Amino acid sequence: MKPGFSLSYYVDGVLSGNRVVLGQAITLVESFLPKDQENAGAVLEKILPDTGKSIRVGVTGVPGVGKSTFIEALGLYVVRQEKKIAVLSIDPSSPLTKGSILGDKTRMEELSKNPNAFIRPTASGLAIGGVANHTREAMLLCEAAGFDVIFVETVGVGQSEVSVKKMVDFFLLLMLAGAGDELQGIKKGIMEMADAIAITKADGDNIKKASEAQADYQHALHLFSTPDSGWKPKVLTTSALSGDGIDKIWKVIQQYRDQTEKSGYFDQNRSDQNIAWFHDCFDQLVRADLSQHQSVRSNLISLEEEIRQSKLSARSAAQQLLDRYHQAIQKP
Amino acid sequence: MKPGFSLSYYVDGVLSGNRVVLGQAITLVESFLPKDQENAGAVLEKILPDTGKSIRVGVTGVPGVGKSTFIEALGLYVVRQEKKIAVLSIDPSSPLTKGSILGDKTRMEELSKNPNAFIRPTASGLAIGGVANHTREAMLLCEAAGFDVIFVETVGVGQSEVSVKKMVDFFLLLMLAGAGDELQGIKKGIMEMADAIAITKADGDNIKKASEAQADYQHALHLFSTPDSGWKPKVLTTSALSGDGIDKIWKVIQQYRDQTEKSGYFDQNRSDQNIAWFHDCFDQLVRADLSQHQSVRSNLISLEEEIRQSKLSARSAAQQLLDRYHQAIQKP
């Protein structure tokens, strides 16, 4: 352990719900330094028995859909039900300015002051897979710190939604009514991952349009088969301004939990997610391991170039890369 | 090279368009025997410069949608345009009875007799990824043998569609009108992968229903953003019985090719597919390599069990597996 790191400081702090230590622990798991990673692994191992008790909710939607105000409204509602909530935000658009979206201090102002709420951006870091792992681990730390509901927020325009879907129990997609489909920039597959779609800003003149959009999306969802969960995705309308529909969304999440816990899907899904995560971690470790060997790294680049020029088949290239990798491990 | 294997026999046979040798070469790439795999790699390397000149079309749809009759009708139409076509079928439902769907001799009867058509089932084999690689390689062999259009056919109810999408230029989804959405069993994401949807059996009393379904699906597709190809997916109606719409579908495929070749997407997509395929191959090789070491294989099983019981984090498990793998490579 590096000087200054104390396993019990992190573990005891997190388990007692100390928000400062929780924040430090999340910083630790986000670190790419090998020593930090090792320490983070030790902390996670210790808190593991105290994880898994929350409901994990993914929330996505394009910029402008009103994600922050929605999460603030829903978050405040849930906090009033005597629950502790954590909001983990992923901002894939700002890999360099760590957590830039939270630079905006007015974001979730009321919620962020609430003692039962914890809001934290996740650095986008290097790879999407990497981000997902950091967020997953941040989620575990929040659970160990006693949070009952974890919201994982993404921007809804990129690949990160798929990663988030793989780590949450319930996936909520926010949509605007009548914004024009192209404007909404819904990427392939995102709509189909949703356990619920909420049409936001359903207030004032917008109410009628929101109801129409609700019918439209309900129809579109109806075209797809029932997902493995056995849950039929719901479409709702909501307004963070008037508060309309916020309670219904929370009720739908509760219904989902009840139904899938009863069917056994809830636990099965988490178990499957963990196994898939393990394999993802392993693939990432191998990839990181490859690039640690100079000879393998340069081999990879030249193989990709040969493939692009149709000089080499994928099969042969993969075999050559594996051979080179073996050599590097045998003679470091 | 094993006795009986001659590189030039396979290469010359395939390049001259000899259908018997083409069939044997596909059997070779499908083999899981290490020696066969090595030989298959050598054959593929040799024919690589002669690949890539076809248009690759994925065709999917649930059983009962009339896939065979549709492909036969479209195939015969294309053959009449002086083109040579190959149909590669993937049947994930029959991993053991290799190519069971072709056991039905009446399937594509007319097309199968046509000298300019080549029909071949792909054994489902072990893993979906594996199937995809075999089919990819079979596709390359067909291209080297001079086929202008390759249809890759899947059953449309499983994971294999995603693999097929990754290897074709154009992805066509067949749907029935008014069969009830649930009955159609369209899996998540498949509809959104489609470059075109064809409503089949649009004849007789069914014509009106087919037109309604066409409008419905056009509307549903409209809800999604334009894919990276810049191509707006089309919805068509067709009848293998009357032949209506078959020519339009072929025209749409041509339009797609023209538009994406002009934009540069066509070549870029193929190049990206090849790189992704290379990485898939490598991941598969590593996985196969893991299971070749008894110590690693048993380690993997016990790690998964510990994860399921929440005794171990994914991160630690992955690190332990990598350590064990390194040991196995260093001391074989």
Torsion of CA B107, B113, B114, B116, to 10 degrees: 90
Classify strands B55-60 and B117-122 as parallel, antiparallel or unpaired. unpaired
At which of A233, A263, A293 does a domain end?
A: A263
What residues in A contact B223, CB-CB < 8 Å? 181, 186, 191, 216-217, 220
pLDDT band at residue A187 under the 50/70/90 scheme: low
Q: Which candidate in B51, B143, B282 is best for mutational testing of the A interface (most A CBs within 10 A)?
A: B282
* Residue B128 counted as domain residue: yes
* Residue B301 counted as domain residue: yes
Rounded to an integer, the average pLDDT of A142-167 is 85
At which of B231, B263, B295 does a domain end?
A: B263
pLDDT for the residue numbered A95:
41
Residue A190 has pLDDT above 90, yes or no: no
Q: Which one is predicted more confidently, B299 or A182?
A: B299
Residues A84 and A183 in one domain: yes
Residues B215 and B104 in one domain: yes
Distance CA B155, CA B175 (A): 12
Residues B244 and B137 in one domain: yes
Distance CA B113, CA B95 (A): 27
* Residue B269 counted as domain residue: no
* Residue B270 counted as domain residue: no
pLDDT for the residue numbered B176:
86
pLDDT for the residue numbered B234:
94
Structurally, chain B folds into a number of domains equal to 3
pLDDT for the residue numbered B119:
93
Residues A105 and A242 in one domain: yes
pLDDT for the residue numbered A280:
86
Residues B113 and B91 in one domain: yes
CA nearest neighbour of A156 among A34, A62, A273, A245: A62
* Stated length of chain B: 332
**Min distance B177 CA to chain A CA atoms (Å):** 12
What residues in B contact A136, CB-CB < 8 Å? 314
Distance CA A281, CA B321 (A): 10
What DSSP assignment string belongs to B260-318?
A: HHHHTHHHHHHHHHHHHHHHHHHHHHHHHHHHHSHHHHHHHHHHHHHHHTTSS-HHHHH
What DSSP assignment string belongs to A14-50?
A: HHTT-HHHHHHHHHHHH---HHHHHHHHHHHHHHGGG
CATH number at residue A183: 3.40.50.300
Q: What is the ipTM of this complex?
A: 0.81
Residues A241 and A93 in one domain: yes
Instruction: Inspect the interface and report whether the beta carbons of B312 and A48 lie closer than 8 Å.
Output: yes
Instruction: Inspect the interface and report whether the beta carbons of A133 and B315 lie closer than 8 Å.
Output: yes
Going by the DSSP 8-state scheme, the letter that residue A97 receives in this structure is S
Nearest to A41 among B41, B223, B315 (CB): B315
Rounded to an integer, the average pLDDT of A284-303 is 91
pLDDT tens digits, residue range A1-27?
A: 445 789 999 999 999 999 999 999 999
Instruction: Inspect the interface and report whether the beta carbons of B307 and A225 lie closer than 8 Å.
Output: no
Instruction: Inspect the interface and report whether the beta carbons of A225 and B48 lie closer than 8 Å.
Output: no
Residues B236 and B299 in one domain: no
Residues A208 and A144 in one domain: yes
Instruction: Inspect the interface and report whether the beta carbons of B318 and A278 lie closer than 8 Å.
Output: yes
CA nearest neighbour of A29 among A149, A140, A103: A140
Beta carbons of B111 and B75 less than 8 angstroms apart: yes
Residues B89 and B217 in one domain: yes
Residue A100 has pLDDT above 50, yes or no: no
Average pLDDT, chain A: 85
| Residues in a beta bridge with A118 | A86
Q: Tokens 């489909």 identify what position?
A: A181
Provide the token pair at B175. 């749907």
Distance CA A110, CA A112 (A): 5
Beta carbons of A318 and B278 less than 8 angstroms apart: yes
Supply the range of the domain harboring residue B28: 1-50
pLDDT for the residue numbered A15:
97
Instruction: Inspect the interface and report whether the beta carbons of B314 and A283 lie closer than 8 Å.
Output: no
Q: Which candidate in A232, A275, A313 is best for mutational testing of the B interface (most B CBs within 10 A)?
A: A313
Residue A156 has pLDDT above 80, yes or no: no
- Residues of chain A with pLDDT > 70, as a percent, come to 85
Residues B146 and B289 in one domain: no
pLDDT for the residue numbered A139:
95
* Residue A271 counted as domain residue: no
Distance CA A122, CA A89 (A): 6
Nearest to A330 among B189, B282, B330 (CB): B330
Q: Which candidate in A186, A226, A315 is best for mutational testing of the B interface (most B CBs within 10 A)?
A: A315
Radius of gyration of chain B (CA): 22
Distance CA A43, CA A29 (A): 9
SS3 content of chain B, % helix, strand, coil (to 5): 55, 10, 30
CA nearest neighbour of B59 among B125, B108, B126: B108
Closest residue in chain A to residue B39, using alpha carbons only: A316
* Residue B268 counted as domain residue: no
* Residue B295 counted as domain residue: yes
Three-class SS of residue B159? coil
CATH number at residue B15: 1.20.5.170
Residues A10 and A43 in one domain: yes
CA nearest neighbour of B48 among A139, A298, A307, A282: A307
Rounded to an integer, the average pLDDT of A163-191 is 75
Residue A186 has pLDDT above 70, yes or no: no
Q: Which stretches in chain B have pLDDT values below 50?
A: 1-2, 93-105, 126-129, 182-183
pLDDT for the residue numbered B186:
58
pLDDT for the residue numbered A102:
41
B118's enclosing H/E stretch is: strand B117-122
Instruction: Inspect the interface and report whether the beta carbons of B44 and A316 lie closer than 8 Å.
Output: yes
**Min distance B28 CA to chain A CA atoms (Å):** 14
- Residues of chain A with pLDDT > 90, as a percent, come to 55
Residues A44 and A67 in one domain: no
Please state the separation of Cα B277 from the chain's center in Å.
13
pLDDT band at residue A96 under the 50/70/90 scheme: very low
Beta carbons of A193 and A166 less than 8 angstroms apart: no
What residues in B contact A311, CB-CB < 8 Å? 48
Instruction: Inspect the interface and report whether the beta carbons of A187 and B225 lie closer than 8 Å.
Output: yes
* Residue B256 counted as domain residue: yes
Provide the token pair at A279. 């394999």
Going by the DSSP 8-state scheme, the letter that residue B12 receives in this structure is H
Instruction: Inspect the interface and report whether the beta carbons of A48 and B329 lie closer than 8 Å.
Output: no
Instruction: Inspect the interface and report whether the beta carbons of B312 and A280 lie closer than 8 Å.
Output: no
pLDDT for the residue numbered A227:
80
